[in-house]
Structure 1
Amino acid sequence: MDQSVLDRLKEELNHDGDGYTRIFVANFLNFLPHRHERLRLALTTGDLQGAVDAALSLKTSAQMVGAERLAALAMDLEAELRSEATRSDVTAVLPRLAVTFLKPAIKCSRQTIDSLSPYGSEDFKR
């Protein structure tokens, strides 16, 4: 986790103390399983455009809360999707990318949830 991103977010959203920041982080945490499911579904069904969109969504949202490792995994997947998948049969490439990327991304997301959980609660009053 990049604490400076959370600090900047807290400063930018400081309209009512830490309330907006907690809501923002809580929304990220609550929506994370949905982002993984969208990515899994797109990869396993051979939906290249859906996979790119899901990877971008995961990358961008992770960057916004400072989840740098998760963002990097999504960025790596996006690069693979844009290079390899466009040159090959997507029905073969996307399931292979699912095997390669989903398990590490879910593991990293669990660690991200553990790291961010205090920020989505009353404990964020630092």
Structure 2
Amino acid sequence: MSSSGSGSSDGDSSLECLHAAPGQGHAMITESGQGTPPVLDLRILADLEEDFDSPSVARSFAQDYIGLWKQRLDRLTFAVNSDDREAALDAGLSLKNSSAMVGAVRLSVLAVKLLQIIQCGDMRSARSLLPAVAEEGAETIRAIQHDYLRGDR
């Protein structure tokens, strides 16, 4: 992976353009030297339960996240593969925000890196990260089902 100056067309000189080599999704997550973030942070879901004073609301949100996963991934994949930067940014933001809200820390961090790459217009590198996004998403779904919703089945 290499780093270059800002390729942002909106004048944001603080944006560092990232370029991913194929299969480097996990390496991009840990390059800050802070170690690998957890797949799922159950404290975030516990906070959500507390915020709504109802475990059922948080559990419903987690179930909805699982139910919408394929749609989110398909939308992101289509936008990136179509070189539709605006749609890819929208799909990436949806993925990042929903993942952060459900406690999917690793996937949220990967989505941030993907968004940086898309913002710089490097759709080829963005395409190379899609398999890592799919893999992290599948791992996240398993973690939510096993570690959080296991009593709901």
Residue of structure 2 in register with 1:105 after alignment: 133
Equivalent-residue separation in structure 1 for 2:80 and 2:123 (angstroms): 5
Residue of structure 1 in register with 2:82 after alignment: 45
Aligned residues: percent identity?
29
Cα shift readout 1:19-45 (whole Å, capped 9, x = no counterpart)? 211111000111011100000000111
Question: In structure 2, what residue type is equivalent to 1:94?
Answer: M
Question: Does 2:145 match 1:117?
Answer: yes
Structure 1 unmatched runs, 5+: 86-92
Secondary structure of the corresponding residue to residue 14 of structure 1: coil
1:66 to 78, 81, 103: 103
1:10 to 49, 64, 72: 49
Equivalent-residue separation in structure 2 for 1:19 and 1:6 (angstroms): 11
Question: In structure 2, what residue type is equivalent to 1:13?
Answer: F
What TM-score do the two structures reach when normalised by structure 1?
0.82
Q: CA deviation at 1:14?
A: 2.1
Question: Does 2:63 match 1:26?
Answer: yes
Contact 1:62–1:71, Cα closer than 8 Å, also in 2 = yes
Equivalent-residue separation in structure 1 for 2:75 and 2:125 (angstroms): 16
What TM-score do the two structures reach when normalised by structure 2?
0.68
Q: CA RMSD in A?
A: 1.5
Q: 1:27 to 1:120 in 2, by over 3 A?
A: farther
Structure 1 segments, 4+ long, off by >6 Å, are none
Contact 2:117–2:123, Cα closer than 8 Å, also in 1 = no
Contact 2:117–2:125, Cα closer than 8 Å, also in 1 = no
Question: In structure 2, what residue type is equivalent to 1:113?
Answer: I
